[in-house]
Amino acid sequence: MIQWYPGHMAKTKRLIEENLKLVDIVYEILDARIPYSSKNPIIDELILSKKRLVLLNKADLSDKNVNNSWISYYKKNGIECISINSLKGDGLKSINDKTYKICEDIIKKKRSKGITPRLRVMILGIPNVGKSTLINKLSGAGNAKTGNIPGVTKSKQWIKTQYFDLLDTPGILWPKFEDENVALMLAITGAIKDELLNIEEISIKLLSILKIYYPQYLLKRYNIINIDLPEYELLKNIGEKRGCLVAGGEIDVLRAAKTLIDDFRSGKLGNISLERPE
């Protein structure tokens, strides 16, 4: 079981609660590869009836058909959802259009009072899901610090864009993970620092999913002949094919595991979604 007890998470929760009244709408950013596991259930409790737009980020790394299934799932539950790629800026126009649509009543109310409608948006999501990268794309400047490791944003910051005022918040994770599967999914995608992880364990979990949904990617990338091997044997197979060897010709399983994880995270394996709405 992966444990995670950073003290600043409680502070982040308080910060969100205190600032919600200042904003018109919340952007909840999820990792398109793991929309279930990258969704912190505490966010639902915090934002309650506040208007919301769910953004499936890193859509360039995920399976487009599965993304569409998630969008339909959210729509059935009365929540607007779109897929985006904050790194390249794909989907930015859709974000603006959806925001105006969702906040139509607020805009009308402001105009009726003679106020020029400028919406305020809070950005929420777990660490390393792409919040700061999205803000920089929306604002057209490097206002928000970015990084490919969890925990880059340390405090709240307001950023002006052409259309909205954005409130960035630090990534918020659970005090502890009750569901080991969720912890493993977050570990696979890099939402938890690698130093805290058993890389072999999470690579075995990844292989178990790939065998079911994307066996063709394993066959193509690593020239694997028998996809039905147990996961640990598959990992050794990958190590052998990739030349992950130590003295005496032994297979370096840890290096093979790191190779698999890196190939997944970078998209070299293919467009992969690890979770489906069902």
> Which residues are known binding-site members for GTP?
57-60, 85-86, 128-133, 171
Sign of the Cα torsion 36, 74, 32, 150 reads negative
Residue list, annotated binding site: 57-60, 85-86, 128-133, 171
Strand pairing category for 157-160 and 51-57: unpaired
